[in-house]
Amino acid sequence: MAGPVGLLLIAMACEKEMDVQYLQPVDDSPIFMHLPVQDQSNGRRATTRYAVFSAQYVTSGESGQIGRTVYFKDVGSQQLTEDFVPGLSLDGTDNVSYYIDETRPSEELSASISSAAISRAMQTWDGVSCSDLGMYRIPSQPGIATGFVSELLGFGGSLDYVADVIHAGWLPGAFFDLIGPSGSTYILGVTFTIIFTDDDGNPVDVDNNNKLDVAWREIYYNDAFVWADGAHYDVETIALHEAGHGLSQGHFGQAFSTDSNDKLHFAPRAVMNAAYSGIQTEINESDIGGHCSSWASWPSN
């Protein structure tokens, strides 16, 4: 149970019954695939098949903090070496699905405005010419909260599988304090990776590519910040960054501050920089390169 923070979430997982049939996606309704857990005295406890593996977060530029990766299991090489596997998706297809939870909007923006910004971010990644993701949005369902990680941590949600990439909404600062010390003050957004495990709780790599097999990813936004559409802090910009993590990209580039004016600099400036540097809704060559390294041959990789 390694990791720089003391989350009780470590190694938590959920059991998938072996006789569950793969479901075909339906355009006009989401798939909520129930994943039962055991309720034990020490809380929701790992059984088999799924485990929270890591989280990547982006920080505010003014904080002086730089986003990083937090690992929740002492496995792997401490690199972003987890990825989706053709033929292994829980919806039974190789198309990339995403879902936007509209039950937890930010205090400043309506769900319709933030959802439109998030959809634009997803469409930007889907538009990269090197890849054919077959990306589609599963329609949001009123009154139905999502969030495997938020449910495990007591912030409400669901233990159901919904989509490959879930934008699970805005949560209070207390949620982000569990990710990093005083995380509510500098973490803008976080992406959790949930991986497949075997019946003994060990991560699996069924395609033998030296990358752990991703079950799905969840993105959360910090409602302790003031959010905006086209201004500081811009939803689309942060969603574009977190969606990059959702599609298997890690952080890119260096960030450093100038002692004389405490100003943060990036080399080069990219969507996948580890800290927010202002509105950035277009992806550059470095971001595209990272995306194509994972998705150019999909689903034949």
> Please, which pLDDT band fits residue 202 given cuts at 50, 70 and 90?
confident
**Mean pLDDT of the 152-169 span:** 92
What are the DSSP E strand ranges found in 61-149?
69-71, 82-83, 97-100, 136-138
pLDDT at residue 13, as a whole number: 34
Mean pLDDT check: name the lowest of 48-62, 89-103, 115-129. Answer: 48-62
Alpha helices in 44-177 (DSSP H): 111-126, 148-152, 173-177
Q: How far is it, in rounded angstroms, from Cα 219 to Cα 121?
A: 13
Architecture of domain 39-295 in this structure: 3-Layer(aba) Sandwich (3.40)
What pLDDT does 254 receive?
Answer: 62
Mean pLDDT score of the chain = 76
- pLDDT of 261 > 70? The answer is no
39, pLDDT greater than 50: no
CB within 8 A of 39, min separation 6: which ones?
Answer: none
**Domain extents in the chain:** 39-295
- Under 8 Å between Cβ of 84 and 214: yes
Mean pLDDT confidence for 199-209: 84
Q: Pick the most confident of 133-142, 205-214, 260-269.
A: 133-142
CA–CA dist 5, 12 (Å, integer): 15
Confidence of residue 244 (pLDDT cuts 50, 70, 90): very high
Share of the chain above pLDDT 90, in %: 45
Q: Cβ of 46: how many Cβ atoms within 10 Å?
A: 20
Distance CA 23, CA 238 (A): 31
Residues in the chain, overall count? 301
The pLDDT score that the predictor gives to residue 79 is 36
Least confident of 68-82, 215-229, 252-266: 68-82
Q: Residue 238 pLDDT > 80, yes or no?
A: yes
**Residue 251: predicted pLDDT:** 80
Kindly report, residue by residue over 262-286, the tens digit of the pLDDT. Answer: 566 565 678 888 788 889 999 988 8
69 and 54 in contact (C-beta within 8 Å)? yes
